[in-house]
Amino acid sequence: MRAGARVTGLGATTPLGGDVASTWAGMLEGRSGIALIEQDWAEGLPVRIAGRMRVEPAEVLGRVKARRLDRCQQAALVAAREAWADAGAPDVEPERLAVVIGTGVGGVLTTLAQDDLLETAGARKVSPYTVPMLMPNAPAAVVSIEFGARGGAHTPVSACASGSEAIAMGLDLIRLGRADVVIAGGAEACVHPLTLAGFAQARALSTRNDAPQEASRPFDAGRDGFVLGEGAALVVLEREGFAAARGARSHATLAGAATTSDAYHITGADAGGQARAIRLALASAGLEALDVGHVNAHATSTPTGDLTETRSITEALGTHPAVTATKSMTGHLCGAAGAVGAIAAILAIRDGVIPATRNLEELDPQVKLDIVTGRPRRGRWAAAMTNSFGFGGHNACLAFTAS
């Protein structure tokens, strides 16, 4: 079995809280981070609900620092600082420290805002920071600058699989001997009239504007689409020998990971491609299907997507794992979603408790899985997996084991 990577640091800012502790507490309490969008710009939109970050990044970073960063970059830096501190600020050579932060669309809020400014006020009013703020690679770049990482700053852009693919790439960098420590995960902040309108036109979003907290309902018979969210989640991965030598505390071990592509449809998903990613992640970790006791599902709450994932989990793992869908509480953080799910899976096996899926009132009869619902489930599981699937047929799966 190939060596894994120790997970020594966790950081997040989500619709449930401004850090990992508050986000995890919210998941275990079954709280919802979804709310009605109060701003005037949401009036007239078919969908007026979203999961906004519970703590404004500028409150953490300071307004001077935040002003030169897109909201996506702000979220990444907040999560990175927490993860680094949680890991004990490892003393690592800069050339042996890498950063991998995925995103779905990067600085789209800057792109759209500055384009509006260009159209209404002219070129001289456009910010000189526009390009550094809109670049999809900027979250990785900003974090690499913050911590002096010279071992590479990478940016997977694979839609809703980006965060998980980033963590998978972090494991690859360690296994290939290119880094001793990697800061990896995802960041996204794209709650905007254009993205909401575009997803709504594709009939991908829930239209429960009158009941925001009940809108995201994975695996429920009455689900009608996902809820757009924003935030970031990052982990610190360390080569096992490096972590052991410095006596680092470990939350869990990233034992294996895999990515595949469906080559099927730009927005549709293929259960076969997803199942292949799950199996490859198992093989990468040296695990068998029966070793996996828990799955944090991608489960966005779309009518077709949840059923496709149901088939892929059943095909690759069977029906024995306890499955939960934390997007029922956070909404769908797109490029950051997989990293949020990874942290939830890590904490589930570390603490021996799986958050319940919120809003699951009537299980879709086609879902033949053991879905955790009602209240958190306590127990001990040797291994857990996370699934992330993105538009374009991107599949990324991570396998964690208890340390």
| Residues tagged active-site | 160, 298, 332
Give yes or no: residues 229 and 312 share one domain: no
Question: At a CB cut-off of 8 Å and minimum separation 6, what does 247 contact?
Answer: none
User: Tens-of-pLDDT digits for all 403 residues of the chain?
Assistant: 589 999 999 999 999 999 999 999 999 999 999 999 999 999 999 999 999 999 999 999 999 999 999 999 999 999 999 999 999 999 999 999 999 999 999 999 999 999 999 999 999 999 999 999 999 999 999 999 999 999 999 999 999 999 999 999 999 999 999 999 999 999 999 999 999 999 999 999 999 999 999 999 999 999 999 999 999 999 999 999 999 999 999 999 999 999 999 999 988 889 999 999 999 999 999 999 999 999 999 999 999 999 999 999 999 999 999 999 999 999 999 999 999 999 999 999 999 999 999 999 999 999 999 999 999 999 999 999 999 999 999 999 999 999 8
Spatial distance between the Cα atoms of 258 and 312, rounded to a whole number of angstroms:
15
For residue 88, the domain's CATH number is: 3.40.47.10
HEC letters along 186-239? EEECCCCHHHHHHHHHCCCECCCCCCHHHCCCCCECCCCCECEECEEEEEEEEE
Give yes or no: residues 188 and 262 share one domain: no
Give yes or no: residues 68 and 109 share one domain: yes
Helix axes 271-285, 303-317, angle to 10 degrees: 40
Give yes or no: residues 215 and 136 share one domain: yes
Give yes or no: residues 86 and 66 share one domain: yes
Q: Judge whether 129 lies within some domain.
A: yes
Write down which residue in 221, 246, 271 finishes a domain. Answer: 246
Give yes or no: residues 69 and 211 share one domain: yes
Give yes or no: residues 158 and 268 share one domain: no
What's the Cα-to-Cα distance from 207 to each of 46, 203, 204, rounded to whole Å? 7, 9, 9
Give yes or no: residues 67 and 177 share one domain: yes
Q: Judge whether 251 lies within some domain.
A: no
**Structural domain for 328, as ranges:** 256-401
Number of domains in the chain: 2
Q: Judge whether 306 lies within some domain.
A: yes
Give yes or no: residues 260 and 160 share one domain: no
Write down which residue in 219, 246, 273 finishes a domain. Answer: 246
